Amino acid sequence: MINILAISGSLKSTSSNTAIIKAIAGLSPANVQISLYEGLGDLPHFSPDIDGGKSAESVVHFRKLLQEAQGIIICTPEYAFGMPGVLKNALDWTVSSGELTGKPAAAISASPLYSGGENAHASLMLTLKALSSKVAEKSQLQIPSVYGKFDPEGNVSDEKTKQSLIIVIDSLLQTIENQ
Ligand SMILES: Cc1cc2nc3c(=O)[nH]c(=O)nc-3n(C[C@H](O)[C@H](O)[C@H](O)COP(=O)(O)O)c2cc1C
C-alpha cells in the first residue's frame, strides 16, 4: 500500500479544495491510501521558541504523519494573492525537522476565479523548493473556475479537470516509485 498524506489549505467546512482531495482519493488506484490531514487548524503558531525539545502534541503528530507518508498532496486556495496562513504555518513547522526534504509532493491550487489561484500556487512552490520537496512538473496543477466542478463528496463533473487530476496522481506515484 502506498500511503499519501493530503493537506487542504482551507479550513472551510464546504471547502472546494477539500472536495478536490476527496476526488483525488476516488480517482487513485486501489493500492494507494490517501489520508486527509485534519489537524491544520490545531497547530500552534510557529515560533522557534516552542520548536525543538518539547513541541506541542499536534506538531509531533503532524510530523509523524508526514514521516510515515511516502508522498504528500497539497491542495490550496488563494488568500490575498498567497497561500493561506494556516498552510504556511504548517509548512514552517517542518523546516527544522525536515520531514519534507526529498519527499515527493503534488501541488494543486484552486479558485473560483479564472486565475486558478496562480499566486497561491507560486508561493506554495517557492516554499516547497525551500523545503527541498520533489515536485515534478506534471504533479503541479491550477484549477480555475472551481465552483461547480466538484460536489462535497468529491465527485468531479468536469471531464477535463478529472483527466488533469489523474495526470497529477500518476506523476506523483511515478516520483514515489523513482525514489
Ligand atoms: C480572505 C479571503 C481572501 C481571498 N483572496 C483570494 C485571492 O487572492 N485570489 C483568489 O483567487 N481567490 C481569493 N479568495 C476566494 C477564494 O478563492 C474562495 O473563497 C475559495 O472558495 C476558497 O477555497 P475553499 O473553497 O477551498 O475554501 C479569497 C477568499 C477569502 C475568504
Tell me which residues of the chain have a pLDDT lower than 70. none
Tens of pLDDT along 35-56?
999 999 999 999 999 998 788 9
Q: How far is the CA of 175 from the centre of ligand 1 (A)?
A: 30
DSSP assignment of 97-130 equals T-TTTT-BEEEEEE-SSTT-SHHHHHHHHHHHHH
Consecutive H or E run containing 34? strand 32-36
Q: How far is the CA of 80 from the centre of ligand 1 (A)?
A: 8
- Per-residue model confidence (pLDDT) at position 52: 83
The residue type found at 178 is: N
Q: Indicate the number of domains in the chain.
A: 1
β pairing state of 2-8 and 32-36 = parallel
CATH number of 121's domain: 3.40.50.360
Task: Give the domain extent around 124.
Answer: 2-45+57-177
> Is 98 a member of any domain?
yes
> Is 52 a member of any domain?
no
3-class secondary-structure state, position 80: coil
> Is 91 a member of any domain?
yes
Q: How far is the CA of 79 from the centre of ligand 1 (A)?
A: 5
- Per-residue model confidence (pLDDT) at position 153: 86
Ligand 1 pocket by Cβ (under 6 Å): 10, 12, 15-17, 77-81, 111-113, 115, 117
**By alpha-carbon position, which residue is closest to atom 5 of ligand 1?**
79
Q: How far is the CA of 13 from the centre of ligand 1 (A)?
A: 14
- Ligand 1 atom with minimal separation from the 19 CA: 26
